[in-house]
A and B are shown apart, each in its own frame.
Chain A
Amino acid sequence: MGVYNIRMKWYVLIHFLLLSPSIMAHPVIYKGGSVYWGTFMPQMNIQRLSHSFTPKLAIEAHSNRFQGVNDYQDYQLGINWLVKKWLNQNSQANLYTGVYAGYFDDATSNGLTYQTMLMADWESRTLYTAGSVDAYFYDDDMKFRYSYRFGVAPYKAAMGELQSWLVLKLDYFDDLNTDLMITPMLRFFYNNVLWEMGSSLDGDIFLTLMVHY
């Protein structure tokens, strides 16, 4: 119980720390917009499908698979909420949260699982930073996944042009890694498709595909 309380305090603290700097693309987009978002690594596979009913609220179905965490696999349904958006002349920042519930299965047990997410980002045409915390509650346990990104665009892309980014991604997941996972990657946007390719310093390939429609 004591360990649980300490972890809860850390969770709250990190939530607030991440309000200023900020992770990935947006879990809530334009009204009527849908997104497929797949992240693939040897030890981690996350697939998400969401639909935004308003520019502030989206429903999401997703599946997480963490091979390193006792072969954990879940299927969840939940909502994403754009808590706050800051629009400046040449930049924007967003704060999102999400809650999900579903079914999990791992090497030793199965049952109900819950997840919460907090994500914040700031981006201009040439700089990009984002951070997120995901908490997974299942089997009387709680695990956290932290992610932080910083990206630089080598040029300003105009409408209809390929947009490119050089991104450094830092990840930490309870039980999955004993060390911080550092992944340099390339990120591209073209029309409604985003894709990322990289490799962690340990040699693990990282791929992301995101399609807006």
Chain B
Amino acid sequence: MNKKMILLFLILCIPFTALAETVKVFVPGMVCPLCLVGIQKQFKKDVENPKKDVLLDLENKIVTIHTKKKLSDAAIKQKIKNSGYEVKSIERVPTPTDPNETPSDVLQKDALPNLEKQEEAKKP
């Protein structure tokens, strides 16, 4: 009985692990909008619309990606590497509970973190 309960629990968990997710990836060295073309191409299969779901904040060197399903850190790092860059950090943004929000709404609503402050905070 206990095994069946655990199995049922695991099955119920599957849809939650496969949910869409927004990740913010800090990628130093990106200096022009052309950098984004390669990144959008690498994440083409992981998002609904690369032009809307993969956004670049050149000022803060942050790529924001709204994926169809959760991607591992290793997968994100590999895709950024294939774009010719290296990942410095990855931040996962909680998925909103409002079903009416579109991926673009989520991306616009989420304020980009102030990375300089984060870096300062990490210093001893």
Contacts and interface: CB of A to CB of B under 8 A. Distances in A.
Interface of A: 28-33, 54-55, 82, 85-92, 123-125, 156-161, 163, 189, 191-192, 194, 212
Nearest to B56: A159
A191 B34 CA distance: 6
Contact of B37 (A85, A124, A212): A212
Interface string B34-59: 10111101100000000000011111
Interface in B74-109: 81-86
A85 B33 CA distance: 18
Contact of B31 (A30, A31, A92): A92
Interface size bucket, B side? 20 to 34
29 contacts: A28-B84, A29-B38, A30-B37, A30-B41, A30-B42, A31-B82, A32-B41, A32-B82, A33-B41, A87-B29, A87-B85, A88-B29, A90-B28, A91-B31, A92-B29, A123-B31, A124-B31, A125-B32, A125-B58, A157-B32, A159-B57, A159-B58, A160-B33, A161-B33, A163-B32, A192-B34, A192-B37, A212-B37, A212-B38
B122 to A, nearest CB: 14
Residue in A30, A124, A192 with the greatest tally of chain B CB atoms within 10 Å: A30
B29 A159 contact: no
A87 B85 CA distance: 8
**Interface class of chain A by DSSP:** loop
A124 B30 CA distance: 8
B58 A30 contact: no
B61 interface: yes
A58 to B, nearest CB: 11
Contacts of A86: 29
Q: What 4 A-B pairs have minimum CB-CB distances, sorted nearest first?
A: A30-B38, A87-B29, A31-B82, A92-B29
Nearest to B84: A55
Contacts of A163: 32-33
Given A31-B42, A159-B36, A192-B34, A89 B83 contact: no
A191 B37 contact: yes
A189 B33 contact: yes
A157 B33 contact: yes
Contacts of B84: 28-30, 55, 82, 85
A194 B86 CA distance: 24
Contacts of A123: 31-32
Nearest to B39: A30
Contacts of A159: 33, 36, 55-58
Contacts of A55: 81-84
